[in-house]
Chains A and B, each alone.
Chain A
Amino acid sequence: MAEYALRRTGYGLLVVFSVIVLVFLGLHAVPGNAVRAQLADSPGITEEEIAKRTAALGLDQPIGTQLLHFLGGIFRGDLGRSFVDNRSVASEIGERLPITLQLGLMAVIISVILGFAMGMLAAVRQNSLMDHSLRVVSVSGLSIPNFWLALLMVTYLAIYAGWSPPLVYEGPTQNLGNNLAQTILPAIALGVAGMAGTARLLRSSLLEVMQSNFIRTVRARGASRATVLFKHATRSSILPVFTVLGLQVGAILGGTVILESIFSIPGLGLLVFRAVQVRDYPVVMGCVIVYAAVFVLVNLIVDLTYGLIDPRVRYR
Chain B
Amino acid sequence: MTAEAPEALGHTRRAGTDGRSASSRAEADSRPAGAGGPLLVVDQLVKHFPITRGLLRRTVGHVRAVDGVSFTIGRGETVGLVGESGCGKSTVARMVLRLIAPTSGSIRFDGTELTGLSARAMKPHRRRMQIVFQDPFSSLNPRMRIVESVGEPLVTHGIATGAAKRRRVCELMELVGLSASDVDRYPHQFSGGQAQRIGIARALATNPDLIVCDEAVSSLDVSVQAQVLNLLKRLQQELGLSYLFIAHDLNVVRYLSDRVYVMYLGRIVEVGPSETLMAQPQHPYTEALIGSIAAAGTSGIRRRRIVARGEVPSPSRPPSGCHFHPRCPKVFDPCRTQSPPLYRLPDGQLSACHLRAEIAEGQDG
Contact = CB atoms under 8 A, between A and B. Distances in A.
Contacts of A6: 55
A52 interface: no
A69 to B, nearest CB: 29
Interface string A1-38: 00000110010000000000000000000000000000
A6 B54 CA distance: 11
Interface in A132-165: none
Contacts of B55: 6-7, 10
Interface in B26-72: 55
A10 B56 CA distance: 12
A158 to B, nearest CB: 56
Contacts of A10: 55
A48 to B, nearest CB: 52
Nearest to A6: B55
A7 B54 CA distance: 9
A1 to B, nearest CB: 15
User: Interface extent on A, as a size class?
Assistant: under 10
A10 B55 CA distance: 9
Nearest to B53: A3
A291 to B, nearest CB: 27
B107 to A, nearest CB: 35
Contacts, number: 3
B256 to A, nearest CB: 41
B60 to A, nearest CB: 14
A303 to B, nearest CB: 15
A93 to B, nearest CB: 31
B301 to A, nearest CB: 43
Nearest to B54: A3
B215 to A, nearest CB: 29
A130 B100 CA distance: 57
A108 B55 CA distance: 33
A7 B55 CA distance: 7
A315 to B, nearest CB: 11
Interface string A68-87: 00000000000000000000
A6 B55 CA distance: 9
Nearest to A7: B55
A254 B55 CA distance: 32
A7 B57 CA distance: 12
A13 to B, nearest CB: 12
B356 to A, nearest CB: 44
A66 B55 CA distance: 30
A266 to B, nearest CB: 41
Nearest to A11: B55
A120 to B, nearest CB: 38
A65 B314 CA distance: 53
A271 to B, nearest CB: 36
A262 to B, nearest CB: 44
Interface in B250-304: none
A168 to B, nearest CB: 50
B233 to A, nearest CB: 45
A6 B56 CA distance: 13
Nearest to A10: B55
A113 B278 CA distance: 70
A92 B314 CA distance: 60
Contacts of A7: 55
Interface in B48-106: 55
B218 to A, nearest CB: 29
A10 B54 CA distance: 12
B57 to A, nearest CB: 12
A16 to B, nearest CB: 17
A65 B55 CA distance: 30
Interface string B188-226: 000000000000000000000000000000000000000
B232 to A, nearest CB: 41
A3 to B, nearest CB: 8
A247 B264 CA distance: 50
B59 to A, nearest CB: 18
A115 B55 CA distance: 37
B69 to A, nearest CB: 32
Interface in A231-254: none
A49 to B, nearest CB: 50
B46 to A, nearest CB: 29
A300 to B, nearest CB: 16
A4 to B, nearest CB: 11
B58 to A, nearest CB: 13
3 contacts: A6-B55, A7-B55, A10-B55
Top 3 nearest A-B pairs by Cβ distance? A7-B55, A10-B55, A6-B55
Interface of B: 55
